[in-house]
Structure 1
Amino acid sequence: MTDKISDLLEKAAALAEPVVRGVDDLQLGVRTPCADYDVRDLLNHLFHVVVGFQALAAGKEADFSQTPDYLEGNWRDRFAVETGLLVEAWAAPGAEEGTTGGMNLPARTVGSMALLDLTVHPWDLARATGQDFTPDEEGIRALGALVAEMGPTARQMKVFADPCPTPGGATPFEELLASTGRDPYWTPNP
């Protein structure tokens, strides 16, 4: 069991990469469980998080005001490269210490935010494109505390929707999805 952000990010990236590779170009306009994003928008968002949080790991600024289009050329291979760079950035000595960037949040919290995106958005993409996705259990355990702590602020800032109800017996991942405002049983059919 590990609690290093870089180790958790490495596991999450290894599980996310096949989902990203499995997205067919014809699926880029398909809607996702994220009401504001189709598959293209969500892939660009995830790419932007992966790239931006590399800078945050080094204590630098990252601009999230606009999301560029990352889906040019061999973007699937580039996603694998960028997630590798993300893991390396968070494995650097001191990356989890102090505060980072203009967010003025503890670096470990910021790294966990990247982990959340790299765990939840592959599920969004898998659901939208008919793929299977099983997240890393250690990552899910680490994210439960983050979402409980940051959830109210994330909802206020419209990053999360209101929590979705889950039936008794929901898995920890279903509970995590629901706490971010996702219906863990979402399907692409209306």
Structure 2
Amino acid sequence: MSALHDLRPASDALGQLVANLPAERLTGPTPSEGYRVGDLLEHIDGLSAGLQSAAHKTPVAPEDLRDGDAAQLRPDWRQRVPTQLTELALAWAEPSAWEGETVQGGVPLPAPVAGMFVLDELIVHGWELARATGQPFTPRETDVRALLDFLSSLPPMEEADGLFGPPVPVAKSAPDLDRLIGLTGRDPAWEAAPAQG
């Protein structure tokens, strides 16, 4: 894994999805069972602020410890979350963010591992939000391949402390993004029903 990975393209892509998210989709389903779009958005809100702490190697602010609850989503999300995502990428653009050890989700980790988990959050949740809201999403191939290499080097997902669901079987000939999504326990064929007009 590279010592320093540029998170800006992935954070920009997710920020654009949030900025363009149709408000009527907030109650719609996502590829993660039991998670509505508003829940996913609130989770992205929390991680976009909280994961900056891992880069700075400081404790996470209590208000950023959120698991995804649409009822807790503040009304200024459309402007605030993309800004936080930009700040997240800038925090991880500092070489010091990738050095030594940090804490992420209460778990001590080597900083390069934590940084790759941030990239995973950006791309996997970007894919989920795009699929759930009918928006296009094309992450950088280099990011997707880097994540495939990284996640494939970890213990089987069932043993990875609940970070992912059981892998969904995907053909080896499938596109890299589909293979990544399947590896993280989502069905790459999932699509939301069209919005009612």
1:33 to 28, 31, 34: 31
Whole-Å separation in 1 of the counterparts to 2:132 and 2:157: 27
Which range is displaced more, 118-127 or 96-105? 96-105
Match of residue 14 from structure 1: 12
User: 1:70 offset after TM fit, Å?
Assistant: 6.3
Going from structure 1 to structure 2, the CA distance change for 1:19 and 1:66 (only over 3 Å counts) comes to: closer
What is the CA–CA distance in structure 2 between the aligned matches of 1:153 and 1:168, rounded to whole Å?
A: 18
> How many correspondences in the alignment?
186
Indicate the residue corresponding to 2:139 in structure 1: 135
Deviation at 1:48, TM superposition (A): 1.2
> Does structure 1 retain, via aligned residues, the 8 Å contact 2:92–2:98?
yes
Report the Cα distance in structure 2 between the residues aligned to 1:32 and 1:153, rounded to whole angstroms.
20
1:85-164 mapped onto 2 (5 Å cutoff): 85-101=87-103, 102-150=106-154, 152=156, 155-164=159-168
Residue equivalent to 1:76: 78
* Residue identity matched to 1:4: L
Q: Which runs of 4 or more aligned residues in structure 1 lie more than 3 Å from their structure 2 counterparts after TM superposition? A: 63-71, 153-156
Tell me, yes or no, if structure 1 residue 179 matches structure 2 residue 183.
yes
1:148 deviation in Å? Answer: 1.5
Name the CA distance, whole Å, in 1 between partners of 2:119 and 2:36.
21
For 1:10 and 1:72, how far apart are their aligned partners in 2? 24
**Structure 1 unaligned runs (5+)?**
none
Q: Which moved more, 1:62-71 or 1:23-32?
A: 62-71
Deviation (angstroms), 1:154: 5.9
| Aligned counterparts of 1:29 and 1:165: Cα–Cα separation in 2 | 28
RMSD of aligned alpha carbons: 2.2
